[in-house]
Structure 1
């Protein structure tokens, strides 16, 4: 009987993987459902077991299965891991994704599963924490805070019980790594959380998954049941989010788990000291916890040997938007932004020039091609006025209107704000109004600008501009910058605090979309 492998990943199923699996089964094949390899342009992907390894075909439709099985299908890819998209990757966290049956304990063990937990339990909690510190692992969801320091704080904190919380509320646009990991290798996350529990003395953990991920929710619940005896005395459960973006912020997430409305808590106290139910709590995101089994199994030095500067190990980068080869690419820190977008992503899917990329989700900064030399590194991006965040890269071609993208950032913040602090709640609403005035003013002639008193922007727009403020483009952009400064330094959490990143980067790098002269650097880009 021919053995074939087809992804059960949510994205693959959306592209027809279930129908393909049924067609292969009807042809008498043994069908193994795996996670996705991470290159969605070849999904639905079939891999056929052979003497030469697993031979891939993709994309494939159900009516193509006969041609796949006799080897004549034109979309024959050969060994998938040899494709250029995969050959250059350094897969530490996603090594098993697309390879194993996600819910097979035997498969997981056969591919080095549980080795990290075994190594951790042979050491003292302090030794495990020291190993995570030595690895250089930093939080893979936000500002990159050192994971080992967070664990040390919880280990040293008085109080009992202690908790491990996994933030799987993956709400950033263009990100899907958490979902892929939970659907394709759930035991890896469970093992990472069990190691964290041993390291800090926790007995129970929660995985907070956004409600929009039904496949991940079902897979994690089943995997927890299958592995319950393996991780004793640690116990785990899934909590489903209620659809609020702000619950991706760690303290709002804790409130949601406690059954409250998700609102940001003031700090201090830190969650490491008074977190879930007022007890010491480790809260990390999926990619941080899923990196831990490799560190304990292979050693901190093996992980720290990869990377760039203070950014050690690998980062699962997610390429999305207007990009030819969208998918997940795991690589050590230090690769340039341009290499990710152009060499690996293949540039814009539309065939037009890439004009901008946004890194770090809807609150990340926009970068023009003139900055594609930046190394993918926490410090380099911070110095350039951006952030890596969850490492989602969204690509835009030259048809994008960056002023409208800046407006979207303000509108997104206004819609998703929990409302607890004034800079975020009111500032984002005022930001939308300012952007509307700027966008409208781009189409007004200089003569019309002199007639502001007669309502040159139109009665409806003019009525929203207080008479005491300067409603020229220059006046409004100055007001926008002042508002961003207030939001950045006055907001209670990163939702309001990070909204200025996309707004100011769009204003700085693409001033022509705001009615100002185009920067000289564009000519240099065209020559390049």
Structure 2
């Protein structure tokens, strides 16, 4: 396997974020190609490429664009939805624990997103596009806004783009910082100025999204990948990846790895291959468990090192590719403690709209804290599974599923470690000795060191 830098190819170039640097490497050539085509043909090309959403479930990008009513808004014979304005919204609210690909992309190569947004807006016949960016990342916000300003000054945004007669405005919106706003309908509510909570569907955003108008919501990496496809063609894109998951993508390696960072590779790459580039698990330690797509995806173990990291391969292994956030944990990690930290996050970030998630995440935290503190009570493991099953598939949005996944998968792979917590009256794990079950010496959980 070889790495395939496309989005990250020029991240180390001087002033890579500027318009001049981007254009020096073929920037905005894809936009020029798109503007010479009919919008429907642009959608068809992206659909033929097989580009799948890079922000979660991997839904085909071209298919998502095609759901927008494609009759022209000024066509009086069109259906009512087509006569409403169309909107493009880019989800840059990167907040999944372990996910760290969109912010580096926007920092080093923001014009890829700007160019992709103009192409996508043109394809779906949207006059206005929005980037919903996580408000805490002020340096990224400034970098992206500067790129947008450059594009306006160069005639690549605004009225009559590049002399084509096409008008597109792009607004960078800073969100207030809530994990739930990564869910597309909660993001739309927040963008409209309301509290970010998921909407009941149907209607879906393609019919009634932003301001109750047809809307496409795509991830940063998904939109940023479009210009390269327009520039190099469908056949080039399909030379990478697998048949059902073609193309390149950014894998984020973090945790107990020698060289954490972003590794751009074809879909279908394995963790074993990526660890080869990243220097392996940190010296003197071995892999214990890992997440393929952030903490909301079921964890995998060392036996899954050769699982193809594409949507089908990871699903066959019992997890989800998600945002491709590969969190690596070695044998010094207490599984129960790691799962507790994740669960506390989900309980804190629950919007409270639905009972299974609001109440379920609270009780999951109480049970896990008891196991860590004093071993909990008999039957706690069954209660963990019972509460998780009451949340999974029954909450209003995917946050509840994300909270249940690490618990259910960790009990599947590491049930003995949970049992040991109960049997020892608290966390028996001594990371100083890299020993999971310490039979002698003070227990860190009761000595105040485990927390």
Q: TM-score, normalised by structure 2?
A: 0.85
Give the superposition deviation at 1:194.
0.4
Partner of 1:431: 364
Bigger relative contact order, structure 1 or 2 (CA pairs below 8 A, ≥6 apart): 2
1:411 aligns with 2:351: no
Give the alignment of 1:331-350 within 5 angstroms: 331-341=265-275, 343-349=276-282
Q: Any stretches of 5+ residues in structure 2 without a counterpart?
A: 71-80, 162-166, 422-451
Using the TM superposition, give the Cα deviation of residue 439 of structure 1 relative to its aligned residue in structure 2, in angstroms. 3.9
Match of 1:44 in 2: none
Query: Does 477-486 or 227-236 show the bigger shift?
Result: 477-486
**Alignment correspondent of 1:154:** 68
User: Which residue pairs with 1:101 in the alignment?
Assistant: 15
Q: Partners in 2 of 1:155 and 1:313 — Cα distance?
A: 27
Task: Work out whether residues 322 and 350 of structure 1, in 8 Å CA contact, stay in contact via their aligned partners in 2.
Answer: no
Shift of 1:284: 0.4
Q: Distance in 2 between matches of 1:349 and 1:89?
A: 21
Please say which structure displays the higher CA radius of gyration. 1
1:430-463 deviations in Å (ceiling 9; x for gaps): 1112223444565xxxxxxxxxxxxxx6xxxxxx
**Pairs within 5 Å for 1:321-400:** 321-341=255-275, 343-349=276-282, 351-400=284-333
Q: Which residue of 2 aligns with 1:520?
A: none
| Distance apart, 1:364 and its partner CA | 2.1
Q: Secondary structure at the match of 1:95?
A: coil
Question: How many aligned residue pairs are there?
Answer: 401
Q: Distance in 1 between matches of 2:371 and 2:416?
A: 12
* Cα shift readout 1:287-314 (whole Å, capped 9, x = no counterpart): 0000000111111121122112411101
Conserved in 2, the CA contact under 8 Å of 1:355 and 1:398? yes
Q: How does 1:227-266 map to 2 (within 5 A)?
A: 227-228=151-152, 229-231=155-157, 232=161, 233-266=167-200
Sort the Cα spacing of 1:210 and 1:350 in 2 relative to 1 into closer, same or farther, 3 A. Answer: farther
| Counterpart residue number, 1:50 | none
Matches within 5 A, 1:37-436: 88-156=2-70, 158-228=82-152, 229-231=155-157, 232=161, 233-341=167-275, 343-349=276-282, 351-436=284-369
Question: Separation in 1 of the partners of 2:91 and 2:230?
Answer: 21
Query: What displacement does 1:92 show?
Result: 2.1
Q: Which blocks of at least 5 consecutive residues in structure 1 are unaligned?
A: 1-86, 443-456, 458-470, 518-528
Cα distance change on mapping 1:413 and 1:103 into 2, 3 Å: closer
Preserved CA contact (<8 Å) 1:100 1:108: no
Q: Which residue of 2 aligns with 1:31?
A: none
The Cα of 1:366 is off from its aligned counterpart by 1.6
SS of corresponding position for 1:161: coil
Give the superposed CA RMSD. 1.8
Shift of 1:479: 2.3
Looking at structure 1, the residues matched to 242 and 17 of structure 2 have their Cα atoms a distance apart, in angstroms, of 35
CA apart distance, 1:273: 1.1
Distance 1:421 1:301, change over 3 A: same
TM-score by length of 1: 0.73
